[in-house]
Amino acid sequence: MNMHRRSFLTLSASVLAVAATATMWPLRAMAEWVRPKAAFEAKGMDDTFAAMGGTPEASTDIDFMTPEIAENGAVVPVTVTSKIPGTTEISILVEKNPNPLAAIFVFPEGTDPSVKTRVKVAQTCNLYAVVRANGKLYSATRETKVTLGGCGG
Amino acid sequence: MGNPMRIRAVTADGNTTVKVLMSHPMETGLRKDSEGNLVPAHHITTVTATHNDKTVLTAEWGAAVSQNPFLEFSFAGGAPGDKVSVHWVDNQGDSRTDETVLK
């Protein structure tokens, strides 16, 4: 009886190990294209930067345009243009949103490293544009005042 | 299936500028309805734009992108007759693809 139990335990353990490897495999194979879930779910700027791979270096080569005063925090237009050579990614972060990371844009060769979109801003705070170029992170910051919103300032 | 996207693509000086307006509620999952129940999260997670089958932009979005998202970007190249298509997938498994032909 004991023998059986032992062999069953070993067997189930090895089955589990195989299953775990199998589920992780596609993630590894597609590492470049997997959504950085942890970064989207992170709360607070420090955690988000950590999930993105480090704290970015401030740069003046990023054109970051946001309104100084946004009347409606639900629709805040944002324009980011990177002049840093080798830009592959632009991310937009809103400091005081429940999850700061709003969007990541990935630019293949031939696409201008520039994007315009609209994001939600919960309350008056800093917006960050983070650029990934040659494996390094750079950022630009702008404050946006929100007059209308759940907890407007 | 959501409602159709509005896509406008204009080529000038060898560069094509694409403007997209999607139709999507972009619920964060944090908002409550009039009865105080949480509205489940429902937002676009991935957007892919292609120019004649070549990917020109990939975007990963969280819930903080505004309702009925707007997106503008540009890429090198583009000639009359070329196809520009945009595809999105949301967190509830819904997806939609629309395309436009360059003039």
Give tens-digit pLDDT for A133-148. 998 999 999 999 988 6
Burial of A60 (0-12, 13-18, 19+ CB in 10 A): exposed
> Would you state the structure tokens that stand for residue A72, as one six-digit string?
């409606």
- Closest chain B residue to A42 measured between Cα atoms? B62
* pLDDT tens-place string over residues B31-68: 888 888 888 899 999 999 999 989 999 999 999 999 99
Model confidence band, residue A39 (pLDDT cutoffs 50, 70, 90) = very high
Contacts of A117 in chain B (CB under 8 A): 65-66, 69-72
Q: What percent of chain B has pLDDT over 90?
A: 76
The three-state secondary structure class of A47 is: helix
For the cut 60, the answer to whether the pLDDT of residue A34 exceeds it is yes
Test B72 with A117 for CB contact under 8 angstroms: yes
Test A104 with B60 for CB contact under 8 angstroms: yes
Q: Quick check: B4 and B98 in contact, CB under 8 A?
A: yes
**Of the candidates A114, A104, A95, which has an alpha carbon nearest to the alpha carbon of residue A39?**
A104
Contacts of B72 in chain A (CB under 8 A): 115-117
> Would you state the structure tokens that stand for residue A39, as one six-digit string?
């970064």
At B23, which amino acid appears? S
pTM of the model: 0.82
Q: Could you report how far apart the first and last alpha carbons of chain A are, in Å?
A: 70
CATH architecture for the domain at A36-148? Sandwich (2.60)
**Start-end of H helices in chain A:** 2-29, 37-41, 45-52
B12-17 long-range Cβ contacts below 8 angstroms, 24+ apart: B14/B76, B14/B77, B14/B78, B15/A112, B15/B74, B15/B75, B15/B76, B15/B77, B15/B78, B16/B51, B16/B74, B16/B75, B16/B76, B16/B77, B16/B78, B16/B82, B16/B84, B16/B102, B17/B72, B17/B73, B17/B74
Annotated domain spans of chain A:
1-34, 36-148
Q: Quick check: B1 and B94 in contact, CB under 8 A?
A: yes
Instruction: Tell me the nearest-neighbour CA distance from A1 into chain B, angstroms.
Output: 48
Interface test with A, best of B8, B55, B60, B67 (most A CBs within 10 A): B60
Instruction: Tell me the nearest-neighbour CA distance from B87 into chain A, angstroms.
Output: 14
Contacts of A110 in chain B (CB under 8 A): 54, 56, 75-77
Contacts of B38 in chain A (CB under 8 A): none
**Domains in chain B and their CATH numbers?**
6-29+39-101 (2.60.40.10)
Predicted local confidence at residue A6, as pLDDT: 59
Predicted local confidence at residue B15, as pLDDT: 93
What ipTM is given for this predicted complex? 0.92
Q: How much is the average pLDDT of A23-35?
A: 50
